[in-house]
Amino acid sequence: MPSNETEPWQDAGMRQSVMIVHSLVTALDPGDNLEAEHRAHTLGWLRRTDDVFRRVKPAEPAQHLVSYVVPVDPATGSLLLVDHVNAGLWLPPGGHVEPGEDPRDTAAREVHEELGVTVPPAERPLFLTVTRTVGLDAGHTDVSLWFVQPLDLDQRLTPDQGEFRAVRWWSPAELREADPARFDPHLFRFLAKLEQSYLITR
């Protein structure tokens, strides 16, 4: 029997959250053709549905929002990445956006939960990707907003040892020499955009 009750991801608060996401995505200036495709895909998705937050682990709905946050040392341009147990890749810290949560708040929350560092929410993402997942939770699509977080190399960290095998800083030179297959498939495109924004050492 049809119900008159509104599902929690369809109420006014959720629609407001989706409007915030829409504004963040609209403001992004794509760094390459693939990011332009991902941006167009995401804007179309946001126009079609309010159901964009993961509600049930691991993958309901099958496409949902993620906030990545990439700690960058301003002095050296080094990036902090985590060796993720589930994905089997070196990734930026981050996680799923909770229903009704502002993705900027998600980024700050994830840095605190995963690294033990308290930071203010970022103003806007630098990068956007749409990725079919790998690892134990394969079978869904992450629409990921990538935020840059300035962080000093000597910042004391308390990493989430249940989620990560290791946490380390990677210099730009080390990343250039590394095997791209060990990382998020879009990381090196992100690095190119980061360099274009003059945020890391070339």
CATH number for the domain spanning 170: value is 3.90.79.10
In whole angstroms, give the CA distance from residue 15 to residue 198: 35
pLDDT category of residue 135 using cuts at 50, 70 and 90: low
Residue 47: pLDDT over 50: yes
In a domain, 3, yes or no: no
Predicted confidence at residue 199, as pLDDT, reads: 53
Is pTM beyond 0.85? Reply is yes
pLDDT category of residue 134 using cuts at 50, 70 and 90: low
Residues of the chain above pLDDT 90, percent: 71
pLDDT category of residue 142 using cuts at 50, 70 and 90: very high
DSSP-assigned letter for residue 89: S
In a domain, 202, yes or no: no
Helices within 49-181 (DSSP H only)? 103-115, 172-177
In whole angstroms, give the CA distance from residue 83 to residue 164: 5
Predicted confidence at residue 10, as pLDDT, reads: 56
Predicted confidence at residue 86, as pLDDT, reads: 84
> By residue range, what is the domain housing residue 167?
8-196
In a domain, 78, yes or no: yes
Q: Which of 3-7, 23-27, 42-46, 58-62 has the lowest mean pLDDT?
A: 3-7
* Structure tokens, 105: 């708040």
Number of domains in the chain: 1
pLDDT category of residue 16 using cuts at 50, 70 and 90: confident
Q: Mean pLDDT of all residues in the chain?
A: 89
The per-residue b/e assignment along 159-175, b for 16 or more CB within 10 angstroms, e otherwise, is: beeebbeebebbbbeeb
In whole angstroms, give the CA distance from residue 185 to residue 129: 10
In a domain, 43, yes or no: yes
- Average confidence (pLDDT) over 162-181: 94
Predicted confidence at residue 198, as pLDDT, reads: 59
